[in-house]
Amino acid sequence: MASRKLKSVAGVIGTPVAQSLSPAIHNAAFAQMGKPWRYVAIDVDATYFEDEVACSRDNGFLGLSVTMPHKDAAFAVATQCDEVAKRSRSVNTLVFSETGSIIGANTDGDGCCDALEHHDASIEGCHVVVLGAGGTARAVITALDLRGAAEIVVINRTAEHAHSAAQCSTRARVGELVDIEQAQIVINTTSVGMLSDESLVPRQHLRASQVVLDAVYAPMRTRLLRDAAEIGARTIDGLWMLVFQAVRQEEMWCGVRPDPLSMRGAAEREIERRNQ
């Protein structure tokens, strides 16, 4: 049954979550909007995920951000989903309605597209390469399709997963690394480059005319982004995607759009604090 409590709490649910920047980002949004609310981190494994979601709903939470490894499980517990979540079969946002229903959404794709558009990258009519085939990739492919990308090429180490992800759009196909050379936008949705100096993309496939977005934000200047910048391409770090998907979540929970620059500033300060 839905709680009658005044909703004033939201949180991120996953494991591990101690490293998550979401509390800093969302608490900054609440403060900027003048809301006396708080956002917490909930570390829970798969065994107790569904119970924790129900407990959060029944105790008056606004909703939850869902991170790894629970995005597929969140899709299963949602009683209704938005278009991106339906196509990607992956949920990163739960909204708890007054009637007790659990609404699932995926803001990863729109967060990626919003980050691109914030940096003046036009999506409509563009040829895009998406690296990866997981839940984030599927959400990005769907959002690109809904915003009118002309072609979406999916590149993944496992061909079967690539073909599955490409089903999210009639304009998507499976490709190879050489396809990057013809792309106008290149998006890495994999974890390759996180806390390492690795990149999936050989530098010779990158072009100065491209926009390159890496969803990885630790470090913010990944090997992929450094290689792209050195040849003159425009680069967008993963923190922008994280912030803009959080903006979408805030809109769903609160009905108000917070300032993304305030949210990014809070994330950057938290990163600096952790690095001291």
* Chain segment 45-103, per-residue pLDDT in tens: 999 999 999 999 999 999 999 999 999 999 999 999 999 999 999 999 999 999 999 99
The answer to whether the 9-106+240-275 and 109-236 domains have the same CATH topology is yes
Domain boundaries, the chain: 9-106+240-275, 109-236
> Is the pLDDT assigned to residue 4 strictly greater than 90?
no
Can you tell me the mean pLDDT for 226-244?
98
> CA 239, CA 219: separation in Å to the nearest integer?
10
Which CATH fold would you assign to the domain 109-236?
Rossmann fold (3.40.50)
Q: How many CB atoms lie within 10 A of CB 228?
A: 26
Read off the pLDDT of each residue in 215-236 and give the average, rounded to a whole number.
Answer: 97
CA atoms of 21 and 33, how far apart (whole Å): 19
- Positions marked catalytic: 71
User: Percent of the chain having pLDDT more than 70?
Assistant: 98
User: Residue 95 is which amino acid?
Assistant: V
Crossing angle, helix 22-32 and helix 260-275, to 10 degrees? 140
Written out in words, the top-level CATH class of the domain with range 9-106+240-275 is alpha beta
Residue 171 per-residue DSSP state: T
Which backbone phi and psi does 79 adopt, to 5 degrees? -85, -20
Confidence (pTM): 0.95
Query: Which pLDDT band, with edges at 50, 70 and 90, does 7 fall under?
Result: confident
Instruction: Quote the pLDDT of residue 5.
Output: 52
Q: How many Å separate Cα 90 from the centre of its chain?
A: 11
Q: Which residue has the tokens 């917070």?
A: 258
Work out the pLDDT band at 2, boundaries 50, 70, 90: very low
Identify the H or E element spanning 76: helix 71-77
Alpha-helical segments (H) within 126-259: 135-146, 159-166, 223-230, 238-254
Q: What does the mean pLDDT of the chain come to?
A: 96
**What is the pLDDT at residue 258?**
97
Give the mean pLDDT of 243-256: 97
In this structure, are residues 108 and 82 in contact, taking their beta carbons and an 8 Å threshold?
no
In terms of Cα–Cα distance, which of 272, 265, 264, 3 is closest to 115?
Answer: 264
